[in-house]
């Protein structure tokens, strides 16, 4: 797999080894063009119909709903960031003193700070499930520890489908069953999975799913998506804007103020959610992701990463068991003998782009990557070992 048939969709030079989509995805050429077209459209605002504030957003919600397999697109809100989506969730949850909110160790800050504030406000407990120290069956043990931690005092389990730095895969179906049993909410951060790993709201029934839009969904920085289930149907939004109120599409009647919000997740949309530039770029991005399908993306990444992970283990790296990790994103812990700063210099000299997150070097691949990219990374590691 020396040449990717999908690379022409992107504008990535041949000498660049980009294994860092988990940090920031490269734009499709179609997404770039959509953004340019939208910028030019704003130059002639008299040609922009009022329907452009609404119709493209509806189409965007429909595409995201299809991607995550949810029947009602009105349960989708377009938002500016994961932190906005999580803050909306915590803004609508009340806890009892002594209840707990469960998080995984070293979750991304956007899925930590709001929960810390919520539990502090209600004298509740933030229950962090640490990663097992064992390198053997680590993912299995971590799943078991999380499963056992859910009890009658648990109000919320807030977590990713995978761990954002190690790539550890969590059994959401079993966790959902346990949270149902104890009447706890399940809030999922899908930023590092949705788009590259199959996710079905119809099957898993989370209470909310929040996703950054600029990673595996290939949108511009500053966009995100949220699914809100029935628990949030009558909640309070973070902001009062004209578009989340009933009949807001009737522009001549905007000063006939409405007490009612639009139904379902529409009450949670951000102000200026009809941003012409962002929405057009997001539509072009989701159209391509849906065409490829997360299943095909994951299969491609599995083919690439299995052999590479095996060779990296032989070089002394610690990587999650293949059965308990994602294949588009995985972290490796380097041998203790490696000089990290020297290794970073070697990677830079070979135009290799990866992320260093905590104790992990995080590798993330997509359809534009080939075995040559992993071979280049492995060559750099061998040079660092020498």
User: Is 343's pLDDT higher than 70?
Assistant: yes
CA distance to 88, 89, 186, 209, 222, per residue, from 227 (Å): 11, 11, 12, 5, 17
The stretch 300-311 carries a mean pLDDT of 95
The domain that contains 337 carries what CATH number? 3.90.1150.10
The stretch 250-273 carries a mean pLDDT of 87
pLDDT score of 245 = 84
Tokens of 114: 């709001």
Whether 279 and 300 map to the same domain: the answer is: no
Is residue 359 included in any domain, yes or no? Answer: yes
Is residue 361 included in any domain, yes or no? Answer: yes
pLDDT score of 347 = 97
Other Cβ atoms closer than 10 A to 180: 11
**More confidently predicted of 273 and 114:** 114
pLDDT tens-digit readout, 316-335: 999 999 999 999 999 999 99
The domain that contains 213 carries what CATH number? 3.40.640.10
Whether 11 and 77 map to the same domain: the answer is: no
Q: Could you say which of 292, 325, 351 is where a domain stops?
A: 292
Whole-number Å distance between alpha carbons of 362 and 356: 6
Whether 80 and 95 map to the same domain: the answer is: yes
Q: Could you say which of 292, 323, 348 is where a domain stops?
A: 292
Whether 320 and 213 map to the same domain: the answer is: no
User: Is 107's pLDDT higher than 60?
Assistant: yes
Whole-number Å distance between alpha carbons of 167 and 330: 4
* HSE, side-chain direction, 13 A CA sphere, residue 46: 0
Whether 308 and 182 map to the same domain: the answer is: no
Of 124-128, 167-171, 244-248, which range is least confident?
244-248
How are strands ordered across the β-sheet holding 100-104?
Answer: 76-79, 224-228, 208-212, 185-189, 154-160, 100-104, 125-129
Nearest CA among 164, 165, 169 for reference residue 332: 165
The stretch 121-125 carries a mean pLDDT of 97
pLDDT tens-digit readout, 224-248: 999 999 999 999 999 998 888 887 8
Whole-number Å distance between alpha carbons of 1 and 7: 12
User: Is 269's pLDDT higher than 90?
Assistant: yes
Whether 90 and 226 map to the same domain: the answer is: yes
Whether 97 and 113 map to the same domain: the answer is: yes
Measured CA angle at 66 (ends 157, 265), to 5 deg: 55
User: Is 2's pLDDT higher than 80?
Assistant: no
Is residue 33 included in any domain, yes or no? Answer: no
pLDDT score of 255 = 84
Whether 218 and 233 map to the same domain: the answer is: yes
Contact 176, 186 (CB under 8 A): yes
Whether 246 and 363 map to the same domain: the answer is: no
Contact 315, 385 (CB under 8 A): yes
Is residue 1 included in any domain, yes or no? Answer: no
Is residue 260 included in any domain, yes or no? Answer: yes
Query: Which domain range does residue 74 map to?
Result: 45-292
Whether 251 and 349 map to the same domain: the answer is: no
Task: Give percent above pLDDT 90 in the chain.
Answer: 83
pLDDT score of 358 = 81
Whether 136 and 181 map to the same domain: the answer is: yes
**More confidently predicted of 51 and 215:** 215
The phi and psi torsions of 124 (rounded to 5 degrees) equal -100, 180
Q: Could you say which of 261, 292, 323 is where a domain stops?
A: 292
Tokens of 202: 């119809």
Is residue 231 included in any domain, yes or no? Answer: yes
Is residue 37 included in any domain, yes or no? Answer: no
Is residue 243 included in any domain, yes or no? Answer: yes
User: Which distant-in-sequence residues (6+ apart) come within 8 Å of 362 by Cβ?
Assistant: 20, 22, 165, 167, 329, 330, 331, 354, 355, 356
> What number of residues does the chain have?
386
Whether 192 and 158 map to the same domain: the answer is: yes
Report the number of distinct structural domains present in the chain: 2
pLDDT score of 248 = 81
The phi and psi torsions of 159 (rounded to 5 degrees) equal -160, 170
**Do β-strands 17-18 and 352-353 pair in parallel, antiparallel, or remain unpaired?**
parallel
pLDDT score of 17 = 97
pLDDT score of 249 = 79
User: Is 1's pLDDT higher than 60?
Assistant: no
Of 175-189, 244-258, 285-299, which range is least confident?
244-258
Measured CA angle at 199 (ends 194, 202), to 5 deg: 135
Band (pLDDT 50/70/90 cuts) for residue 4 is low
Contact 330, 309 (CB under 8 A): yes
User: Is 376's pLDDT higher than 80?
Assistant: yes
The stretch 284-289 carries a mean pLDDT of 97
Other Cβ atoms closer than 10 A to 152: 9
């Amino acid at each position: 797999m020396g040449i990717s048939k999908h690379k022409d969709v992107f504008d990535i030079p041949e000498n660049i080894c980009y294994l860092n989509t988990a940090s920031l995805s490269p734009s499709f050429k179609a997404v770039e063009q959509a953004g340019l077209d939208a910028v030019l459209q704003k130059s002639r605002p008299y040609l922009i119909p009022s329907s452009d504030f609404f119709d493209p957003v509806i189409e965007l919600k429909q595409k995201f709903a299809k991607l995550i397999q949810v029947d009602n697109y009105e349960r989708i809100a377009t938002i500016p960031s994961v932190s906005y989506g999580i803050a909306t969730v915590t803004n609508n949850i009340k806890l009892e003193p002594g209840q707990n909110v469960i998080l995984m160790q070293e979750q991304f800050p956007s899925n930590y700070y709001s929960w810390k504030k919520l539990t502090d406000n209600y004298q509740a407990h933030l229950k962090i499930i640490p990663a097992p120290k064992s390198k053997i069956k680590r993912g299995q043990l971590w799943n078991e520890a999380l499963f056992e931690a859910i009890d009658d005092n648990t109000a919320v389990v807030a977590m990713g489908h995978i761990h954002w730095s190690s790539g550890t895969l969590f059994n959401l179906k079993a966790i959902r069953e346990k949270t149902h049993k104890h009447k706890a909410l399940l809030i999922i951060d899908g930023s590092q999975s949705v788009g590259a790993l199959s996710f079905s709201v119809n099957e898993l029934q989370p209470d909310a799913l929040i996703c950054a839009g600029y990673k595996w969904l290939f949108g511009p920085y500053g966009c995100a998506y949220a699914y809100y289930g029935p628990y949030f149907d009558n909640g309070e939004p973070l902001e009062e804007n004209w578009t989340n109120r009933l009949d807001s599409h009737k522009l001549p009647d905007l000063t006939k103020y409405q007490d009612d919000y639009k139904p379902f997740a529409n009450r949670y949309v951000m102000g200026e959610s009809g941003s012409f530039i962002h929405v057009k770029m997001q539509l072009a991005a989701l159209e391509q992701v849906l065409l490829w399908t997360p299943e095909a993306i994951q299969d491609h990444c599995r083919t690439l990463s299995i052999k590479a992970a095996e060779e990296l283990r032989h070089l002394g790296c610690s990587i999650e068991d293949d059965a308990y990790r994602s294949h588009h994103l995985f972290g490796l812990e380097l041998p203790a003998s490696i000089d990290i700063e020297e290794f970073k210099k070697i990677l830079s000299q070979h135009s290799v782009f990866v992320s260093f997150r905590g104790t992990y070097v995080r590798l993330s691949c997509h359809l534009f990557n080939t075995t040559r990219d992993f071979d280049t990374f492995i060559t750099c590691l061998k040079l660092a070992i020498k």
